[in-house]
Amino acid sequence: MKPVNSQLAALGTTIFSVMSALAVEHDAINLGQGFPDTDGPQDVMKAAAAALFDGRNQYPPMPGVPELRQAVADHDRRFYGIAAEPSQVVVTCGATEAIAACLMSLLNPGDEVVLIEPLYDTYLPVVRLLGAIPRLVRLDPPDWTLPRAALAAAFGPCTKALLLNTPMNPTGKVFSAEELDFIAALLARYDAYAVCDEVYEHLVFDGHRHVPLMTLPGMGERVMRIGSAGKTFSFTGWKVGYVTAPATLAPVVAKAHQNLTFATAPNLQRAVALGLGKDESYFLDLAAALQAKRDRLAAGLETVGMAVLPCHGSYFITADIRPLGFNGDDVAFCRHITEAARVTAVPVTAFYDGPEPPRHYARFAFCKQDAVLDEAVARLAAHFLTDADKRRR
């Protein structure tokens, strides 16, 4: 028989699937995979249910139902001043498909793509499957500052695109205005595009502000901006994503989408359209609630003995495991706490492709009920702290 695609065959199961399966096996609290353990807004859920009975359950328009494309354009204008038309919006089956469709619309074999480590695990496989060449730039803990000289050195005459994630998974970094200005200058200098994964756009804390790269001068024609109803409305299983793209690129993204999934469930699209029109207080309350959960879990992990790194956005905090004196790397640690303490996290090395990544950090998701976070901390404390430690604390 003829061989299958060797690159796809070589890909392993994602670390999230591996750790989630291990969590089920050991009846562990899963703080590894980033999904809330409660449903999102009732009005959005009821709108999805009602839309099943409105007689429009066949194939929706390929780039998205008109209500949602308009709602995304209105949302972008309301929150960021982006003057995009509904025709510049493409609705996809989640942000993961949106990333693939955007990259497909841009890349030819041999093109170079700049990516920033640590990075979400689907980025590199798609870049490589398209025959493009990744150029990796690494952020270093604990502050995850953008290394400007290294980023500039990664750009060159063959650079076609930058893939940027802000707010960033797994670091919780929100790129600053100065960092975005520096990135924008490089894109203009090398006539390159940017694919911006902004799924955590409304999950920003401590007074930080999410600034889409698309809003910077000269970037409107270079940037494709990706959002996600799963993260904004806590319905990750719905898999509704959306791309806002320049007028010249949106039809190409739509053609890629046509050949990936063609369309997204119409009732879910109409419900998300309602959600995007919600009052600003919803989005502020969502961020405030998650900030409180971040603080709750961070305090608990520090009580256990870990050193928690700063996090200004997303669902995740990163913890340094070295103060615990654990004899092993982050992969061994995450397996160990799943099996011995029945709490699951994800090793941060899973987000690196380059050599010698840091091997002593674990990523914990805090988008869970308070009682679940408290029980996870209690289990870790019972495992790592002696009775004397507990009395002192």
Whether residues 254 and 303 share a domain: the answer is no
Helix (H), strand (E) at residue 317? strand 316-320
**Average of pLDDT values for 91-97?**
98
pLDDT of 295: 98
Q: Is the pLDDT of residue 392 over 90?
A: no
Whether residues 129 and 183 share a domain: the answer is yes
pTM listed for this prediction: 0.94
**Average of pLDDT values for 32-42?**
94
Could you tell me the CA-to-CA distances from 222 to 78, 113, 321 in Å, in that order? Answer: 21, 14, 40
The domain spanning residue 355 has which CATH number? 3.90.1150.10
Q: Is residue 122 assigned to a domain?
A: yes
Domain end point (choices 215, 247, 278): 278
Q: How confident is the model at residue 15 (pLDDT cuts 50, 70, 90)?
A: confident
Domain end point (choices 250, 278, 306): 278
Q: Is residue 138 assigned to a domain?
A: yes
**Average of pLDDT values for 191-214?**
98
DSSP 77-105: HHHH-----GGGEEEESHHHHHHHHHHHH
Q: Is residue 161 assigned to a domain?
A: yes
Q: How confident is the model at residue 14 (pLDDT cuts 50, 70, 90)?
A: confident
**Average of pLDDT values for 151-161?**
98
Whether residues 310 and 221 share a domain: the answer is no
pLDDT of 256: 98
Q: Is the pLDDT of residue 52 over 60?
A: yes
Whether residues 16 and 78 share a domain: the answer is no
CA dist 341 and 64 (Å) reads 45
Nearest Cα neighbor of 268 from 303, 311, 230 is: 230
pLDDT of 81: 98
Whether residues 294 and 269 share a domain: the answer is no
The proportion of the chain whose per-residue pLDDT surpasses 70, expressed as a percent, equals 95
Coil, helix or strand at residue 196: strand
Whether residues 200 and 65 share a domain: the answer is yes
The domain spanning residue 107 has which CATH number? 3.40.640.10
Q: Is residue 1 assigned to a domain?
A: no
What is the end-to-end Cα distance of the chain in Å, rounded? 64
Q: Is the pLDDT of residue 260 over 60?
A: yes
Q: What is the DSSP letter of 167?
A: S
Q: Is the pLDDT of residue 112 over 90?
A: yes
pLDDT of 389: 63
The count of structural domains within the chain is 2
Domain that holds residue 340: 6-40+281-392
CA dist 137 and 370 (Å) reads 36
Whether residues 273 and 321 share a domain: the answer is no
Domain end point (choices 278, 312, 341): 278
pLDDT of 172: 97
* 343 contacts: CB under 8 Å, gap ≥ 6: 28, 29, 31, 337, 376, 379, 380
SS3 of 109-141: CCCEEEEEECCCCCHHHHHHHCCCEEEEEECEC
Q: Is the pLDDT of residue 369 over 90?
A: yes
Cα torsion 307, 309, 312, 314: sign: negative
Whether residues 184 and 57 share a domain: the answer is yes
Q: Is the pLDDT of residue 296 over 90?
A: yes
Query: What integer best gives the mean pLDDT of the chain?
Result: 95
Q: Is residue 368 assigned to a domain?
A: yes
Whether residues 288 and 274 share a domain: the answer is no
Whether residues 253 and 338 share a domain: the answer is no
Whether residues 234 and 328 share a domain: the answer is no
CA dist 141 and 210 (Å) reads 21
pLDDT of 17: 84
Phi (first) and psi of residue 49, to 5 degrees: -65, -45
Q: How confident is the model at residue 18 (pLDDT cuts 50, 70, 90)?
A: confident
Q: Is residue 187 assigned to a domain?
A: yes
Q: Is residue 54 assigned to a domain?
A: yes
CA dist 201 and 95 (Å) reads 13
Q: What is the CA radius of gyration of the chain?
A: 21
Whether residues 70 and 97 share a domain: the answer is yes
Q: Is residue 293 assigned to a domain?
A: yes
